[in-house]
Amino acid sequence: MENSTLAIVVPCYNEAEVLPQTNKQLCALLDEMIGKRLVGDSSYVMYVDDGSRDRTWEIIAEYAAASSHVRGLKLAGNVGHQNALMAGLDTARQDADVTISIDADLQDDIRAIPEMVKKYNEGCDIVYGVRSKRTTDSFFKRTTAQMFYKFMTNMGVKSVYNHADFRLMSLRAVNALCQYEERNLFLRGLVPLLGYKTDSVYYDRLERQAGESKYPLSKMLSFAIDGITSFSVKPLRLIFDLGALFLLISLGILVYVIVALCQGRGVQGWASLMLSIWFVGGCMLICLSVIAAYIGRIYTEEKHRPRYNIEKYQK
């Protein structure tokens, strides 16, 4: 298996600042691995330009022209991290035997890559890169991410703790993944569903080399909601639980009212009435929004729109 063609897939969105660093390090690593016969000579790094508005594509095109080990895939517009990654994997399976996906900012330690390949050579189809600590991330990023993982687990979504999108996948794993047709992609929830032999390698999360995070809180939130709604129907169950609770409470109130009436006490003030109207109204709105979230997803899935459009593929 030592001649497997490895494709390192790197989604890039406005990463002009960090790309020179990234390319230097990834190419050096690839050369080293080819030299050690860990992977075949036809291995390559594929940068997927996710509709960047800065010089990202010019830089990628330059690297692709200069080296046979670098390729660039230019998407016609910004489709988001997950879809861009999917575009890269889908394209790489034309000629790669094994793929590794990694972010452009080099926050994931590239020294884990040879270890992943070793596990692949030992027969693993999927190898997760797992962060053993994330002290270099800001306190905010760390705690919100931690809450996200906890919440996802509680909502019944199977995912690997502290694993993002740094992973190795064999050709047949990628082929299997490409058969999942959903548009609200949440890869780290999908991959564990594939069921092939998996393993993990551990690394320390590093500082972003340059540029800044493209995942502000708003994007993280919608990512989390995507993750939950596309994998779990638990929120629908929660509506039922909430409804049952309310019914119980109203029963309690009914008993209270009857007792109060029998004791001859007058009608209570309107404050309690107003309060409950608002309270129930608020809860109904929340419940409605949960249903709306699902309907929204059904709506986008039902259209079967393409996930991405390729503008150019430079080898």
Task: Name the residues that contact Mg ion, by CB under 5 A.
Answer: 103, 105, 107
By beta-carbon proximity to Mg ion, the closer residue of 138 and 300 is 138
Question: Rule CB under 6 A: which of 37-56 touch ligand UDP?
Answer: 50
Q: Is 272 in the site for ligand UDP (CB under 6 A)?
A: no
Pairwise CA distance, residues 45 & 174, whole Å: 17
Q: CA-CA distances (angstroms) from residue 264 to 64, 258, 267? A: 87, 10, 9
Q: Is 97 in the site for ligand UDP (CB under 6 A)?
A: no
Pairwise CA distance, residues 185 & 181, whole Å: 9
Q: Is 188 in the site for ligand UDP (CB under 6 A)?
A: no
Smallest separation, CB 24 to ligand UDP (Å): 16
Q: Is 109 in the site for ligand UDP (CB under 6 A)?
A: no
Strands 70-75, 310-314: pairing kind: antiparallel
Residue nearest to Mg ion (CB): 105
> Considering only residues 13, 47, 128, 203, which one is a binding residue for ligand UDP as defined by CB under 6 A?
13
Q: Is 105 in the site for ligand UDP (CB under 6 A)?
A: yes
Residue 138 binds which of ligand UDP, Mg ion, none (CB < 5-8 A, kind-dependent): none
Q: Residue 130: CA atoms inside 13 Å, Cβ hemisphere, count?
A: 13
> Considering only residues 26, 84, 171, 201, which one is a binding residue for ligand UDP as defined by CB under 6 A?
84
Q: Residue 10: count other Cβ atoms within 10 Å of its Cβ.
A: 26
Q: Give me the DSSP letters along 137-156.
A: S-HHHHHHHHHHHHHHHHTT
Pairwise CA distance, residues 19 & 244, whole Å: 54
Q: Give me the DSSP letters along 35-102.
A: HTTSS-TT-EEEEEE-S-SSTHHHHHHHHHHH-TTEEEEEESS---HHHHHHHHHHHHTTT-SEEEE-
Q: Is 15 in the site for ligand UDP (CB under 6 A)?
A: yes
Q: Is 104 in the site for ligand UDP (CB under 6 A)?
A: yes
Pairwise CA distance, residues 199 & 209, whole Å: 27
Q: Is 125 in the site for ligand UDP (CB under 6 A)?
A: no
Q: Is 81 in the site for ligand UDP (CB under 6 A)?
A: yes
Residue type, 236: L
Residue 180 binds which of Mg ion, ligand UDP, none (CB < 5-8 A, kind-dependent): none
Strands 126-133, 163-170: pairing kind: antiparallel
Q: How many chain residues are in contact with ligand UDP, going by CB under 6 A?
A: 16
By beta-carbon proximity to ligand UDP, the closer residue of 30 and 87 is 87
Q: Is 12 in the site for ligand UDP (CB under 6 A)?
A: yes
Smallest separation, CB 14 to Mg ion (Å): 12
Q: Which residues bind ligand UDP (CB under 6 A)?
A: 11-13, 15, 50, 78, 80-81, 84, 103-105, 107, 213-215
